[in-house]
Structure 1
Amino acid sequence: MNAAPQAELLRALPYARRFARAATGDRDRGDALVAAALRAPLPSLPPRLALYAAVARAAPSRPDETGLATPQRHMLLLTALEDLAVEDAAAVLDLTAEQAAAELQNGRDALRGVASTEILVIEDEPIIALDLRRLVEACGHKVVGVAATEADAVRKATQLRPGLILADINLGRGGDGSAAVARIQSGMEVPVIFVTAYPERLLTAEGVEPAFVVSKPFEPLALAIAVYQAVHPGRAPGL
């Protein structure tokens, strides 16, 4: 492992994995980026920022199928999903503050032209479900169903065949959102974003982990970017 204190790097790993998975749109490819980052010398930054920087350097640098450039994608993820200040994100990507701000603004502008998808929301709290519906529909997507229980989620996913699932983990008496997702994905391929107050339950490096995790309470932009990344993963067409 790199020269940075091992304990600090280990604490930063869940964040690096979340960033890498979101950047690639895939759990396994994201984890491979983190592994590559740990094998290479890290830049002289605090451990968490250094890992982000190494992941960004290892990521393919090319526009995705919608034309969003890699620096724009990374600035959006680092500031909204990873909650970095623009100055810290600039240091991660080796940009000036002015360059970083411009890439961030260009990325936000590009999000407005993204093609829509149909979404199933798995959430037992009616107010949160309504908020999720409002946010994703404001981004141009369509919520085709809301499920409050594990059984209802599996049934609606089978019937509606959504293009994306937004799921909470804790469904109260209605069961477990991650169990519902596992049952759904056993029968169909569909990207999933977990929107949860318990992200640590999904970033343990034990068992199967998701590609996308957004922490509650969430910023609208963070959710919008996660939806974009899930629908348009970070790879060129045909790859």
Structure 2
Amino acid sequence: MSTTHSNEDFSDQVARELPFLRRYARALTGTQSSGDQYAVATLEAILQDRSIFDNTLSVKGGLFKCFHAIWASTGAPVNRDEAGELGAAFKHLAALGANTREALLLSTVEEFSIQEIALIMEASRDDVRHLISTARKDMEDSISGSIMIIEDEPIIAADISAIVTDLGHKVTGIARTRAAAVELGNKKKPDLILADIQLADNSSGIDAVNDLMKDLGDTPVIFITAFPERLLTGDRPEPAFLIAKPYKEEQVQSAVSQAMFFASTETLKV
């Protein structure tokens, strides 16, 4: 079914979807700066030539399709100037098949259908299914490590722990408060931190992560929040990796594999 967008509300519709494009672009590149550069380039291209926007798709689908046209034209998923900061990630990226991570993230994190991804990436549905399957295997096989979980809900913490363990990672422990998180992180340094925002004693998971970063440096972090768009305004340094609540198992798997893929990430400063 075709979708049309009136001139008077098109800008507002794009603005509502922009935080999700930022989330996707940051997860794809591993940094806020690179991801936002691609998002800005997408908006500039649409402003210069509205005809490139596919009005047969939803606004979100059309926005992501424009992004992919620009992304594909650059031919480089990570800026080589950032390779030193991202460490082994650049080497791993070079070894992956083209478009595999893109298809996986579009499916699991952004929850596009196979048909929508095929239109966004200008590929067949069979190709998209193959790309997603290949990405799962490549990323799950590429890196495994230790993960610390900051989560105050026991059932959610246990569920997340089971998901990451099934991926081949080791859980160093689960912390329910800011103080407990700092103590655990300093005692057992993790390769990745997976953090909720609101903790048991009304302390902040963001504050806990910022405390830990003083000693752990560029350890990758995934934040969990019911309102990811609130952390994607572009006004200040923000997380590259986000999972929205309520999450699906595939979203956690994809985000964890993607975050572990990079040797560093930009954490939220408040």
Question: Does TM, scored on the shorter chain, surpass 0.5?
Answer: yes
Question: Within the alignment, does 1:34 sit opposite 2:63 as a pair?
Answer: no
Of 61, 65, 72, the match for 2:91: 65
2:159 maps to 1:131? yes
Q: Which residue type is aligned with residue 110 of structure 2?
A: E
- Identify the residue that residue 218 of structure 2 maps to in structure 1: 189
Give the match for residue 22 of structure 2. Answer: 17
Shift of 1:141: 0.7
Query: How far apart, CA to CA, are the structure 1 residues paired with 2:218 and 2:32?
Result: 14
Query: Does structure 2 retain, via aligned residues, the 8 Å contact 1:23–1:233?
Result: no
For structure 1, list consecutive stretches of 5 or more residues without a partner in the other structure: 235-239
Question: 1:182 & 1:14 partners in 2: Cα distance?
Answer: 22
Q: In the TM superposition, what is the alpha-carbon distance from 1:62 to its structure 2 partner?
A: 5.8
Matched, 1:43 2:48: no
Which residue in the other structure is 1:227 paired with?
Answer: 256
Report the Cα distance in structure 2 between the residues aligned to 1:70 and 1:186, rounded to whole angstroms.
36
Q: Normalised by the size of structure 1, how large is the TM-score? A: 0.88
Q: What is residue 107 of structure 2 aligned with on the other side?
A: 79
Q: How much has 1:189 moved relative to structure 2?
A: 1.3
Task: Tell me whether 1:90 sits opposite 2:102 in the alignment.
Answer: no
For the residues of structure 2 that align with 1:177 and 1:153, how far apart are their CA atoms?
A: 9
Structure-2 change in CA distance of 1:233 and 1:92 (3 Å): farther
Kindly name which structure, 1 or 2, has the bigger radius of gyration based on alpha carbons.
Answer: 2
Give the structure-2-normalised TM-score: 0.79
- The answer (yes or no) to whether the contact 1:56–1:74 under 8 Å persists in 2 is no
**Aligned residue pair count:** 232
- SS of alignment partner, residue 70 of structure 1: coil
Provide the C-alpha distance between the structure 2 equivalents of 1:72 and 1:144, rounded to a whole number of angstroms.
30
Deviation at 1:96, TM superposition (A): 1.6
The RMSD of aligned alpha carbons is: 2.1
SS of 1:186's equivalent?
A: helix
**From 231, 248, 256, the counterpart of 1:202:** 231
Q: Which one-letter code corresponds to 2:18 in the other structure?
A: L
Q: Secondary structure of the residue that 1:69 maps to in structure 2?
A: coil
Shift of 1:176: 0.6
**Identical positions, percent:** 35
The residue number in structure 2 matching 1:218 is 247
Q: CA 1:151 to 1:201, structure 2 compared with 1: closer, same or farther past 3 Å?
A: farther
Supply the distance in 1 between the matched residues of 2:213 and 2:127 (Cα, whole angstroms).
40
Q: Does 1:101 align with 2:101?
A: no
Q: Structure 1 or 2: larger helix share?
A: 2
